[in-house]
Each structure stands twice: as structure tokens, then as C-alpha cells.
Chain A
Amino acid sequence: MTIKEIQDEIIDEFSMFDDWMQRYEYIIELGKSLPLIKEEYKVDENLIKGCQSKVWLQGEQNDDKIVFTADSDAILTKGIIAILIRAFSNQKASDIINANTDFIDEIGLKEHLSATRANGLVSMIKNIKMYALAFDAKNKN
């Protein structure tokens, strides 16, 4: 599936919820089901700075795709990471670079993009794109 198709699928899932509580409960569920990151990746170099909760993000190249794993000590943040990983992991670097992130708005998580939230959603997206840019540059050389 393309990033766009996955994002549409996520939007579809979230459209079933009537209120924030159902949305949050679903995010919490997603957080709980996020696959565990290898302990060796939970190091300071993989820590995304500026978050109230700790977020570790690790990207690895697998053929022409990038696989992301991540973790957080806060469950809502973990749920949001799970959504991002679903959308961006196992995709080509160039597709990740060019992907837009409007679906975050559409699933009602716009407030998590606010600078004051400091939950690192913005930084997470930035770091995912940075990984893609780095792998893309490496592959071109």
C-alpha cells in the first residue's frame, strides 16, 4: 500500500469515532500494541529532544525501504507513534520525503501539532523525514 492509501485507511478508522474519548481510547490501544523496540536502540542518540515524554526513534534500511521502530514512556505518545509508523514504515525514502501529513488533522489530532504540546509529534515527523533524506542521499552516492 502507498503512504496515501494507508493514511486514508487510518482516516476511515478514525471517522467511526463520535468523540474524543473513543479516539483517545483507540490511540491508547494502538500504543499498547506497538511492537517493542530493541533495547539497544533505546539510547540517547535515538532520543527525540523537546518532548515532555521520552521518544526513541530508530530507522533502518531494508532493501529500498526504510523500517522504523520507536517507543515512548507515555502511552498516548506511543499511540501516535504507532500511527506514524503504520503510515511511514516500510516505504521508500523518496515517498516518505514527499508524503504530506494532513491526515493528522483529519483524525482529530491537530492539537498535538501545536508547539505547546511538546509531545514531539512535530519532531517525530521531522525525524522520520530526516532519516528518509539521509538514506536517499546515501543511496544516490
Chain B
Amino acid sequence: MLDIQKIRADFPILSQTVNGKPLVYFDNGATSQKPQIVIDAEVKYYHEINANIHRGVHTLSQLATDAYEISRGKVKDHINAKHAHEVLFTSGTTHGINLVANGFASILKTGDEVVVSSLEHHSNIVPWQMLCEKTGAVLRVIPIDENGELIISEFDALLSEKTKIVTVNHISNALGVINPIKYIIDKAHAVGAAVLIDGAQAVPHLKPDVQELDCDFYAFSGHKMCGPTGTGILYGKEEWLNKLPPYQGGGEMIKEVTFEKTTYADLPHKFEAGTPNIAGGIVLGTAIDYLNEIGFDKIQEYENELLEHATKRLNEIEGIRIYGNTKNKASVVSFNIDGIHPYDVGSIIDKLGIAVRTGHHCAQPIMNFFCIPGTIRASFSFYNTKEEIDAMVDAVKKAQTMLS
């Protein structure tokens, strides 16, 4: 059992009031809140060891470099990568996906195919569309059914020797649906395609094992898992990272530069041009330690309870429709109320201190599929409570009364 009150005390922001009401923060899918230990670690870095990394011979530079590389090691252990140099620091999931899509420009030829799914965030659609425009490759899309689940038979049918990369999210940001990525990875590999998993929405809820999954790339953001904004990780299998060309040129990523030719640094530095977000990278390690101390088994168990409670309570509301009705779901409820625009509900419950996300969640194809302008999305974290869910349900009922 989690001691929720003790956990909540770790997050200073949670004790504030918004619009005169206690803050109920259910926009965790957009970004998570940060525990004091993470905030302190950021301050400590600037107080004590701030210096540029990988270059200086002076003590501070070495301390900062060590801290940064220790953090890389923590991420490696956390996701069970084979090597630390398969773990690249990025500014976030979007950066990681763009890095891979950009690299595939030198691999794809006209007529090759890239497979994405209908459940993707725009970040996992647009870079691939740009890649297809550049290379003449064709974008193929795995459709979804009324429950918001990928239609796997259609995915099977899309695969062929033309498929060069399959890119899907682990968990849908708009609906919370957990995708059968192990199946997708194995099937894609069977036709020789690489697989990228967008893990942005998964890492706050579970601990991915990249070796067990056998994915070629796994991208995620630090800020959704209690880490600082502007941090992220791209895991890539060594063989793939060696194959891809560098994404950006600059300092740090070179071995030797002359005006005739530049040779590139070894992994991971080949993909880490310029001074990175040093503080953020180090503190991401602190966030991962914090989450592991609580334990992902416990987090999942508790978040499932929250999901069940929210689904049950929301279903009391007349005219409610929940999108994404699957057994395999993260603690996210995406819903609408008959005849009421999600924006109206979001604006009113905000006045009651409830922070949810409304709109298309950067996943317009899903909204088009359901023929809706958007949804109200409540995404729960392990620091949320059933009482907060009750407060949200009361607020939604009040909004419904006001708006009907």
C-alpha cells in the first residue's frame, strides 16, 4: 500500500489553492508535478557543481560530467538497456522521434513504407510525414475500432517487405489505451522492419524493459515522470545508432574537424551536439530514483484503483461517453458529455480548482475518427486520490447543470 499523504507531502505544488479551491491536478498526461527532492537536486546542481561537461579538466567540470554520466547509467538500468551508450539524452520525446526520422532519410527509398497508427500523437505522425515527403516513401496507418483499440489484423495486413519502420506509442495520450507493442515489434521484425516506440505516456506508469521488448528505439520525456521539462531519452540499439547519421552538427559530437572532413564521435556523443541540458539530465536520474523507491508495481496497482473509481463515478453522469474502452488501460479517462462542448466543461471545472486537459490532445486523427471536436481528459498520477476524483465528478455535474 502507498502512503498517499506522505507522497503528497513530497509535492509542494499540490497543497496550493487555485481559484480559491484546493488544486486537483489531473493533467498529468501533459506534465507531471515534481517532488521536492527533484526541485532540490536542480538547485543543488547550480549551487555546487555547475560547469560544462565532457571537456574541462577542472574539478567542477569533472564532477558535472560524472553526475551526468551517472544519470545516464541510471536510465540504462531503469529501462534495462544493454549499454549506457545506447541511451541518448534529448530535449524530450519529440526530439527523439525527429532524430530517428531524420536518420531514416538516408535509409528509405521511393516506395518504401512507414507504418504509424491512428492513435499517435502529432509528434509521432508529422516527423514521418516529413520523412515520406523527403524520400518518396509511403505512410501507412493502422486503424482503430470503436473501443479505441488498434485493429491488429489490419496491422498484419499492412506489413510487407516494403515496410522499413513501424512507429507506435506504448500508451495512447488521448485515450490511455495500452497497445500490444510486443506483438507489433515481433511482427515488424519478421518482415525486417525497425520499430520505434513512443513511450511518453508509458514511463510515468510503468518500467519498460527495452531488451525484453526488443524494440529498436524507445523515446520518452523526463517531465512526464517527475523530472524537469526539456529532458528526454532516446534509447536506440547500438547497431541502429551506428547506422544512422548524426542529427545535428556541432561541438561534442565530433572526433576530428578539418575543413576537408569531419569525423564523428562515438556513441552516445555522436547524437549529442552542443551543450545539453546538464542540470535536467542529472535531475532526471533523481526523478527515476524517486519513482523506483516508491515502486512501479505499487504505482500501477494504485493507479488502477484510481482508474476504476473514476470510471465508475463518471458513469453515474447522464449522457457521459468514455473513449477508449479497453481492459488494458493506463490511468487516463477521456470523456465527453452529450451535447456539451469539452471546452465549456473544462473552463467551468477549472473555476472549481480542477485541472484537466480539453481539446484534441494533439491527436486530431482520433477525434476525427470519433467525429468529435475533442474530449475532456483526466489523467491520474500516483499522488492523486479518490477524494479528488469525487471532487472532479461533482464539478463536472455542476458544469453539466450550468450548461444544459
Contacts and interface: CB of A to CB of B under 8 A. Distances in A.
Contacts of B342: 52
Given A24-B348, A24-B351, A24-B402, A118 B359 contact: yes
Given A74-B344, A119-B343, A28 B358 contact: no
26 contacts: A20-B19, A21-B351, A21-B402, A24-B348, A24-B351, A24-B402, A25-B402, A28-B402, A28-B403, A52-B342, A52-B358, A52-B359, A52-B373, A53-B341, A53-B343, A53-B344, A74-B341, A74-B343, A74-B344, A75-B341, A75-B344, A76-B343, A76-B347, A77-B341, A77-B344, A118-B359
Nearest to B19: A20
Nearest to A119: B343
A76 B341 CA distance: 9
A49 interface: no
A52 to B, nearest CB: 5
Interface string A53-69: 11000000000000000
Nearest to B340: A75
Contacts of A73: 341, 373
Interface of A: 20-21, 24-25, 28, 52-54, 73-77, 118-119
A101 B185 CA distance: 56
B29 interface: no
Interface of B: 19, 340-344, 347-348, 351, 358-359, 373-374, 402-403
B343 A52 contact: yes
Contacts of A77: 341, 343-344
Contacts of A76: 343-344, 347-348
A54 B373 contact: yes
Contacts of A118: 359
Nearest to B347: A76
In order of increasing CB-CB distance, the 4 nearest A-B pairs are A74-B341, A74-B343, A52-B343, A53-B343
A83 to B, nearest CB: 15
A25 B348 CA distance: 10
Nearest to B360: A52
A66 to B, nearest CB: 27
A52 B374 contact: yes
B174 to A, nearest CB: 14
Nearest to B373: A73
Contacts of B343: 52-53, 74, 76-77, 119
Nearest to A75: B344
Contacts of A54: 373
Given A52-B374, A74-B341, 19 more contacts: A20-B351, A24-B348, A24-B402, A28-B402, A28-B403, A52-B342, A53-B343, A54-B373, A73-B341, A73-B373, A74-B344, A75-B344, A75-B403, A76-B343, A76-B344, A76-B347, A77-B341, A77-B343, A119-B343
Contacts of A21: 351, 402
A28 to B, nearest CB: 6
Contacts of A53: 341, 343-344, 373
A20 B373 CA distance: 26
Interface centre among B19, B343, B351, B403 (most CB of A within 10 A): B343
Contacts of B347: 24, 76, 119
Contacts of A24: 347-348, 351, 402
A56 to B, nearest CB: 14
Interface centre among A28, A74, A75, A118 (most CB of B within 10 A): A74
